[in-house]
Amino acid sequence: MGADARSSIAATFRESSGKAVATLVRVLGSIDAAEEAVQDAFVRALETWERDGIPASPAAWIVTTAKNRAIDVVRRESTRDQRHQGRARMVGDDGTTPDPASAVAERLDEPVEDDQLRLIFTCCHPALGMEARVALTLRLIAGLETRDIARAFLVPETTMAQRLTRAKRKIAAANIPYRVPEREDLPPRLASALAVLYLVFNEGYAGTTDATRPDLAAEAIRLTRALHALLPEPEVAGLLALMLLTESRRPARFTPDGSIVLLADQDRTQWDAGLADEGRRLVLECVRRGQPGQYQVQAAIAAVHADAVRFEDTDWPQIVTLYDQLFALTPTAVVELNRAVAVAEVRGPAAALGIVDGLPLERYHLWHATRGELLSRLGRSADARVAFATAAELTDNPAERDLLLGRAAT
């Protein structure tokens, strides 16, 4: 197969598999059956695109082919059931025999509020463990390969494949409904839904293995907007604001050759002012409501960065204060690591290094990268070089690795 066809199929899978699976789950009632139909469509693409050329709309081709596959499966299984069970065919009021496959085709064409939002809430059911919820959503919504999810969770691929299989079986065995919960049932499920939406966004903004997936980040923003319209709670607004403010920096994040540009070096005139303004407005709404949560505080931190015309104008004391609030809400080592970066700007690199060295994050590449930066600022070049090299070894993101190796070399 030609490189163009292979590249187009890979890109289409990343961009469209989640939407296709979500639509087919609604009709087939089975995650496995939906995934099988979508996988079959991509196998067909491998067979035909090189021969016939890449279609004008690859995503539409995949969805249509997957739908046709689903219809064929329903028709075949319906015929088999009638043959083996000897059931008499049901006759409609008009004397005709209903065709299950035709009914499926009609349901596939029905307008829906948002199949992916329904699938997120299915994956985030309390019957599943938090890790299973996140992994399943990354697989079904984000279209990540099992090996990439395993790498993100720091487990073998076979282990992650087993977890995903068990999670799907549990959904089927527990008859977990494929729907957005009723309003009174939403709050217990909301935290999981927000967590997975944020992870999907982060995978699109600074992926585990890809430097960036703008399509995935845009999809996370779209789904969060849909959730906010459904449930305009402060934390939903906070997550949406955080995504918008973060996404506004995308135009300045990379050089033309794909190299990462750090926040301190970005040309802020390239930031998307429209996204930043919308994010700020949401943050102000959250502040007025006075019900702080972790996503609202993170969005407030992003808003302080957005308010600074230059990196040097950043209100670092305010950011340290906000990180103090965030740590009170979510006392994790990663929050403390990010707080240390702000502390370095207020109290100097030595004070920040004292914080960083006390954190149990030796397997986290950004811990080593932060140490490298602080050690460099303290003039400890040899130690900084080791820290940057270790960080490069621990990341699978090629753009990050190049940046870190460059820092180690200089």
pLDDT of res. 82: 52
Range of the domain at 60: 3-86+100-108
**Residue 229: pLDDT over 90:** no
- 9, part of any domain: yes
Judged by phi (left if over 0) then psi (alpha if -120 to 50, else beta), residue 379 lies in: left
pLDDT tens digits for range 8-67: 666 666 666 777 787 777 777 778 888 888 888 888 887 787 788 888 877 778 778 888
In-domain check, residue 20? yes
Beta bridge partners of 254: 260
pLDDT over 60 (residue 399): yes
Mean pLDDT for the stretch of residues 219-232: 87
Q: Which residues of 272-283 are buried (b: 16+ CB within 10 A; e: fewer)?
A: beebbebbbebb
Q: Is residue 204 part of a domain?
A: no
Kindly indicate the confidence band of residue 88, based on its pLDDT and cuts at 50, 70 and 90: very low
Q: Which two tokens stand for residue 187?
A: 């709050």
pLDDT band at 308 (very low <50, low <70, confident <90, very high): very high
Res. 161: pLDDT tops 70: yes
pLDDT band at 109 (very low <50, low <70, confident <90, very high): very low
Ranking 18-32, 288-302, 348-362, 369-383 by mean pLDDT, the lowest is 18-32
pLDDT at 301 over 80: yes
Is 215 within the bounds of a domain?
Answer: no
CA-angle at 311, arms to 308 and 312, nearest 5°:
95
* Residue 90's pLDDT band (cuts 50, 70, 90): very low
Average confidence (pLDDT) over 313-320: 98
In this predicted structure, what is the pLDDT of residue 92? 43
d(CA 330, CA 395): 25
| Last residue within a domain, chosen from 73, 108, 143 | 108
Question: What's the pTM?
Answer: 0.75
In a domain, residue 398? The reply is yes
Residue 269 counted as domain residue: no
Percent with pLDDT over 90 in the chain: 43
What φ, ψ does residue 73 adopt, rounded to 5°?
A: -65, -45
Domain boundary among 74, 108, 142: 108
Distance CA 284, CA 37 (A): 45
**How high is the pLDDT of residue 87?**
46
> Is residue 217 a contact partner of residue 278, using CB atoms and an 8 Å limit?
no
Give 21: exposed, middle or buried? Use CB within 10 Å, 0-12, 13-18, 19+.
Answer: buried
Predicted confidence at residue 98, as pLDDT, reads 41
Residue with structure tokens 């289409």?
Answer: 12
Decide if 15 is inside a domain: yes
Please give the pLDDT value at position 104: 41
Residue 188 domain flag: no
Q: Helices (DSSP H) in 110-185: which residue ranges?
A: 115-123, 130-140, 146-153, 157-173
Q: What is the pLDDT of residue 362?
A: 93
pLDDT at 34: 82
Which of 75, 108, 141 marks a domain boundary? 108
pLDDT at 78: 63
Q: Tell me if residue 260 falls in helix, strand or coil.
A: strand
Report whether 36 contacts 80 (CB < 8 A). Answer: no
Tell me, what's the pLDDT at 4?
A: 63
Query: Measured between alpha carbons, how far is 346 from 320 in angstroms, rounded to an integer?
Result: 8
- Per the structure, the count of domains in the chain is 2
| Sequence-distant contacts of 236-240: CB under 8 A, at least 24 apart | 236/190, 236/194, 237/282, 237/285, 237/286, 237/296, 238/282, 238/283, 238/286, 238/293, 238/294, 238/295, 238/296, 238/297, 238/298, 238/299, 239/194, 239/197, 239/198, 239/295, 239/299, 240/279, 240/282
Is residue 231 over pLDDT 90?
no
Q: Supply the pLDDT for residue 258.
A: 87
CATH of the domain at 320: 1.25.40.10
The pLDDT of 272-279, averaged and rounded, is 97
